[in-house]
Amino acid sequence: MEVTATDEKSIEILLKEFWLNFIKCDQDSEEWKAIVCDLIYDRVKKIQKFSSLISIYKSIFKQEEAATVVRVVTTVMEETIASPTFNQKELKDLASHPSKWSKTIFSRCLDEKYPNSDCGINIESVLEYEMWPVILTSYSGSDGEGFSEASLSSFQKLLGVMQHSQNCIISGSLTVNLFKEMERKWSSHLYPMLKLLKLDVKVFKEAMDSANNRILLFHFHEALLLNFINYLDKELNKEFKVCEISPLTIDDMYINELCVEVSEKSWKYPCLEAADPVKPLLIPFAVMTSEVLKNNIFHQQCKDQVKCLNNIDSWSQIAIAVKTAFESCTLILAKLKDQTITLHEVDTLFRGISSVSVVTHTLSQLESALLFPKDSVNFLKDARTFSSQRPPCSVSSIFVASRKSVFSSPWINKVATNVYLWRGLSPLLVEAQDFAKIMNDFEVKQDEFMEFFIIDLQTTELKSVANEKEEMLEFMKKTKEQTGEVKDSIRVFAKSKKLREWILAKSEDLDAMETFIGVVLDTLAEEGDEIQDRLTNLSELCSKFSLLIYNFDKVKSRIKRVMKLFEDTYKKLSDISDPVALVEICNNDFEWYKRIGELQGSIEQGAVTQLKEINQHGFYSIQSSGDSHKCRVSLSIVRDKKHSLSLDDLNELESKLVLITRKHSSWAEEKELFQE
């Protein structure tokens, strides 16, 4: 039930005239006093207005016999002040316009908080007691009148506590939890108290800022170290006992356990000092493994170095391995730049690369990471940035997000092209060795092929082959891309020297071979399908390998032409299901082809050839002589060389064609055209 102003006046009268006398009934009985105090407390507690409580207190505080009642009223006042709904302005107004009676209120509050000298005042209790700034406001600038001796002693102790706290902040000899509480109470407690105590607020705040910076620096250093450990564990699959570190719970740790300033822009981290050997590597490592700059070259170098370590190895051994990986990358980049890198190294580093652009990007990433301007790192600024990220960002991104992270030097594009061209050379050298054997079977010695397949990957530098053997390299790549059947068929064909020589002896080009096969088919038409199959196989063989049969000798001294012949032959063979079997079958039938060739004379073959030449390139002329009853018929054939045939020659050719041509002959229509 709310107490009205009239009721409040009544309570005041009761306190003065009734309750004081009521207590005196049995002044020596503590039990009686407690009963009466409880009754008074219940009545006073119902008063809603703080000003009414002040009025009651003001009217009785001087009465010595009212000490017990005054304590009860003071308790109610403290509870009212502590209420969340209390208007602090009333208390501040009271403190800012102090009077003797108002000071006694604050003095009694302070004495109740610290009832005896054994209850030491410390920074924790100061931060916890909400009344301190108000009490100090009342005390500030006064001569201490109205405050008890105990209160005055508390003020002196408070001054010492604040000075000691400042020293602890500077030295870091306070817990993080306590420091955070001081930060939270800065505006409401510390700042006004420091001013009222006439302490140097600026110096105290600088000490607070420095301590906060050390905590931020520790968190950032810890994040860098965990980034290092996580990469070893997750990316390199390497675990070390010394790396079994989890994020620390630092609330109960002292600040000087976390971070100590050694010199300007230099700090040490005592609780993580075991990992000091890798400390200089943490920023370069974070940059190199960032999402923007991470590259397979560093990853592989790092993996190669740490795989030799044991899981019980020390931080120093880990640091040496990772530092060696950085040094290897620096050396690799330098050798790439001047192209003194060996083909073996190119093969190892870039074998799985899928395009020139990937090589370019990888080289740009590596160079950008290695040339990262370490002088541009403001560790404290970056620590603050890292702390402000919500949610927490990757620690690596702090260094590269605000800087131009990836740049491409002029040399990179050219080197990337050469690297991409010459990567994966090992299998191509095997291919070149096989091809050299094929050339040997063709009885051709090509120095270019020989030089290519004897390249020593371990010693040959990229610059010694770049731009000089590129055509050969591309040809070897195309050769390697061919199916095993295509390459095996060429290998077998190259060894089929007798077959090749016989084909060349029987025909000067593919047309001549087709004529020969056509004549044989006409001659042996009644012999069955087996004969036709053998001749069909020979026809297909000559067609698919025609360039290597009829053109090879003409171009064998010119390497580019030779490579072109083989490339075109690859295309021809690609549409045969089993080219190896075709060559082997023709080799098996070679003796039969020879016998047929011996039986089938050149007369028949020459007649058909002559027939085709006449129809394609012949010009007839008819001339009369002096005797009007006679005329002269002649035929001129214009091709490579001009020559003429008389009418008698033509009649003789017709007689031969009649003997060898059947209705189903492939040249039957041409014979009819000739006869017409």
| Structure confidence at residue 465 (pLDDT) | 85
What is the band of 672 on the pLDDT scale with cuts at 50, 70, 90?
A: low
DSSP letter (8 states) at residue 188 = I
Q: What is the mean pLDDT of the chain?
A: 82
pLDDT tens-digit series, residues 478-499: 999 999 999 999 999 999 999 9
The DSSP element (H or E) to which 547 belongs, if any, is none
Instruction: Report the alpha-carbon distance of residue 387 to residue 381 in Å, rounded.
Output: 10
| Structure confidence at residue 664 (pLDDT) | 46
Flag whether pLDDT at 298 surpasses 70. Answer: yes
Reading the block at residue 392, the tokens are 């927490």
Flag whether pLDDT at 398 surpasses 90. Answer: no
| Structure confidence at residue 658 (pLDDT) | 45
Per-residue pLDDT, averaged over 56-61, amounts to 70
- 257 touches 222 (CB < 8 A): no
For residue 391, say if its preceding peptide bond is cis, omega within 30 degrees of 0. yes
| Structure confidence at residue 388 (pLDDT) | 87
Flag whether pLDDT at 118 surpasses 80. Answer: no
| Structure confidence at residue 655 (pLDDT) | 46
Flag whether pLDDT at 668 surpasses 60. Answer: no
User: What are φ and ψ of residue 418, in 5° steps?
Assistant: -65, -40
| Structure confidence at residue 25 (pLDDT) | 55
Identify the bridge partners of residue 632 per DSSP, sorted by sequence position: 623
Per-residue pLDDT, averaged over 11-40, amounts to 64
Instruction: Report the alpha-carbon distance of residue 508 to residue 401 in Å, rounded.
Output: 72
* Amino acid symbol at 263: S
What is the distance in angstroms between the CA of the first residue and the CA of the last residue of the chain?
140
Reading the block at residue 398, the tokens are 């702090």
Per-residue pLDDT, averaged over 578-585, amounts to 96
- 238 touches 232 (CB < 8 A): yes
The DSSP element (H or E) to which 633 belongs, if any, is strand 631-637
Instruction: Report the alpha-carbon distance of residue 633 to residue 645 in Å, rounded.
Output: 9
Flag whether pLDDT at 270 surpasses 50. Answer: yes
What is the band of 307 on the pLDDT scale with cuts at 50, 70, 90?
A: very high
Reading the block at residue 36, the tokens are 């009466």
When mean pLDDT is compared across 170-174, 278-282, 387-391, 491-495, the lowest value belongs to 387-391
The DSSP element (H or E) to which 5 belongs, if any, is helix 5-13
| Structure confidence at residue 334 (pLDDT) | 97
Q: Which has more pLDDT, 556 or 501?
A: 501
Flag whether pLDDT at 361 surpasses 60. Answer: yes
| Structure confidence at residue 366 (pLDDT) | 93
SS3 621: strand
| Structure confidence at residue 5 (pLDDT) | 45
**From the CB of residue 177, how many other CB atoms can be counted at a distance below 10 Å?**
12
Flag whether pLDDT at 17 surpasses 80. Answer: no
- 537: Cα within 13 Å, side-chain hemisphere: 21
| Structure confidence at residue 405 (pLDDT) | 57
> What is the residue extent of each domain of the chain?
5-200, 212-418, 482-600, 618-675
Contacts with 260 (C-beta within 8 Å, 6 or more apart), sequence order: 172, 214, 267, 268, 269, 270
Instruction: Report the alpha-carbon distance of residue 463 to residue 468 in Å, rounded.
Output: 9
pLDDT tens-digit series, residues 599-654: 765 445 555 555 555 555 555 555 555 555 555 555 555 555 555 655 555 554 55
What is the band of 325 on the pLDDT scale with cuts at 50, 70, 90?
A: very high
* Amino acid symbol at 18: F
Reading the block at residue 474, the tokens are 């591309």
| Structure confidence at residue 659 (pLDDT) | 42
Flag whether pLDDT at 244 surpasses 50. Answer: yes
Burial 15-30 (b: 16+ CB within 10 A, else e): bbeebbebbeeeeeee
Considering only CA atoms, which of 236, 388, 397 is closest in space to residue 308?
Answer: 236
What is the band of 3 on the pLDDT scale with cuts at 50, 70, 90?
A: very low
| Structure confidence at residue 332 (pLDDT) | 97
What is the band of 506 on the pLDDT scale with cuts at 50, 70, 90?
A: confident
Considering only CA atoms, which of 142, 135, 147, 47 is closest in space to residue 92?
Answer: 135
When mean pLDDT is compared across 184-188, 191-195, 295-299, 512-516, the lowest value belongs to 512-516
| Structure confidence at residue 2 (pLDDT) | 45
Instruction: Report the alpha-carbon distance of residue 220 to residue 404 in Å, rounded.
Output: 22
Instruction: Report the alpha-carbon distance of residue 40 to residue 21 in Å, rounded.
Output: 13
The DSSP element (H or E) to which 301 belongs, if any, is helix 296-306
| Structure confidence at residue 469 (pLDDT) | 77
- 552 touches 565 (CB < 8 A): yes
DSSP letter (8 states) at residue 623 = E
* Amino acid symbol at 36: V
Instruction: Report the alpha-carbon distance of residue 7 to residue 9 in Å, rounded.
Output: 5
Flag whether pLDDT at 21 surpasses 70. Answer: no
Per-residue pLDDT, averaged over 381-407, amounts to 78
| Structure confidence at residue 291 (pLDDT) | 87
Q: Which has more pLDDT, 555 or 34?
A: 555
SS3 254: strand
- 451 touches 465 (CB < 8 A): no
